[in-house]
Amino acid sequence: MGKAQEMSELVKDLIRGNEAVAVGIATRETLAGGPPSTDLAYVLPEGRSAVVFALPLDQEAIERFLKKEDMASVNNDNRRVNVMVSGMAQTLSDFLDMKGYKSVPASANAVYRKDTPRGPFDEKPPLSHRYLAVRSGVGYFGLSGNVIMPKYGAATILASVVTEAELIPTDPLPAEDSYCDGCRLCMASCASGMMSGDEKSTVTLGGVDFEYAKRLSYNRCEYVCGGFSGLHQSGKWSTWSPARFPIPEKDEEFLGALRNAVKPYVKRPKTNYGLYHPLVPGDLLQFTCGHCQFLCHPEKTVRQERFKMITGGGVVVQNEDGSLEAVSPEEAARRLSTMSPERRALYEK
């Protein structure tokens, strides 16, 4: 076995031994032609290879979250898994560094480039784990643009390590084996309209094409998944956000909607759990949606059941003590109508 092969096997063993459910290796060559977020040199000028890996989220907590029975467990699990997978990146990076190969860990989430016009607020990651993951066979692109895996669906968290070590790249998974059947439940469960229904994006990485639904403005997801608003336009279901400010139609209207929603967001009582996020007012992000990720299970019947959980679980209101509760749309309207104008303005226009 050559040195590159030996080191590649060692790296994969180290990651698998830390409970990763998949690990892949991408190189400068297999990422050639990709978008700026696949440029290993941005992270490490001498970077030649990247190791990318996934840890799974708790499926039971996901179902309680989607039924709007329990918001805390998904938030706590998400935080724990983010810390674990980023910690694994640090561990592998240190190991390779000690072996004589300069390496840099790329954390799972909430790290952005500072050299863009608006700095971190442009939310451009140093490296896109998902491109690395699909190119190296960790998972497929689902229509949603999320990375999906045969056993865990889209419910995983990814992180990477860039290293100057020369490693042997792993192949993409065979496209024909992907479970994504274009069911579009990811789109139907997104109150922000983040995924285009008719346009696709194609990305070419090292001569291989990958396709998924075009993503519209990321401000959409920020507005809804960030908890600034959450009532679906039907008025029949919501995310875990108790706010029901209008969700605009057009991309360019989301920035204004976000600005208008910040003051009430800051004034609303918050849970004492969530994920620390540098861009969120108050620094603690309450994860309120994630529907496109959580719903996308490998079994179609499970996806359908989860869609029913989302749309049949009612709408969330906030009680005076700050607790969140899912009730029927009619009961939510009744409760809002009894609030003082000042309190009601925290939730709707």
Kindly list the residues in this chain that would bind ligand SF4 in the complex (CB under 6 A): 142-144, 148, 180-186, 189-190, 192, 194, 221, 224-225, 289-292, 295-296, 303
Minimum CB–partner distance for residue 102 and ligand SF4 (Å)? 35
Residue with tokens 């969140």: 324
- Strand positions, DSSP E, 84-180: 103-106, 140-141, 147-148, 156-163
In the complex with ligand SF4, the residue whose CB is nearer, 165 or 221, is: 221
Minimum CB–partner distance for residue 293 and ligand SF4 (Å)? 6
Question: Which of 291, 144, 285 minimizes the C-alpha distance to 228?
Answer: 285
Cβ proximity of 324 and 316 under 8 Å? yes
Minimum CB–partner distance for residue 195 and ligand SF4 (Å)? 7
Minimum CB–partner distance for residue 310 and ligand SF4 (Å)? 9
In the complex with ligand SF4, the residue whose CB is nearer, 190 or 317, is: 190
Minimum CB–partner distance for residue 327 and ligand SF4 (Å)? 21
Q: How many CB atoms lie within 10 A of CB 241?
A: 28
In the complex with ligand SF4, the residue whose CB is nearer, 84 or 187, is: 187
CB burial class (10 A; 0-12, 13-18, 19+) of residue 256? exposed
Minimum CB–partner distance for residue 11 and ligand SF4 (Å)? 29
**Shortest-Cβ-distance residue relative to ligand SF4:** 142
CB burial class (10 A; 0-12, 13-18, 19+) of residue 111? middle
In the complex with ligand SF4, the residue whose CB is nearer, 110 or 339, is: 110
CB burial class (10 A; 0-12, 13-18, 19+) of residue 74? buried
Helix (H) or strand (E) holding 42: helix 40-43
Cβ proximity of 84 and 105 under 8 Å? no
Q: How far apart are CA 326 and CA 68, in angstroms?
A: 6
In the complex with ligand SF4, the residue whose CB is nearer, 163 or 241, is: 241
In the complex with ligand SF4, the residue whose CB is nearer, 161 or 185, is: 185
Cβ proximity of 258 and 273 under 8 Å? no
In the complex with ligand SF4, the residue whose CB is nearer, 93 or 192, is: 192
In the complex with ligand SF4, the residue whose CB is nearer, 188 or 346, is: 188
Minimum CB–partner distance for residue 200 and ligand SF4 (Å)? 12
Minimum CB–partner distance for residue 33 and ligand SF4 (Å)? 24
Q: How many CB atoms lie within 10 A of CB 230?
A: 25
3-state secondary structure of 304: helix
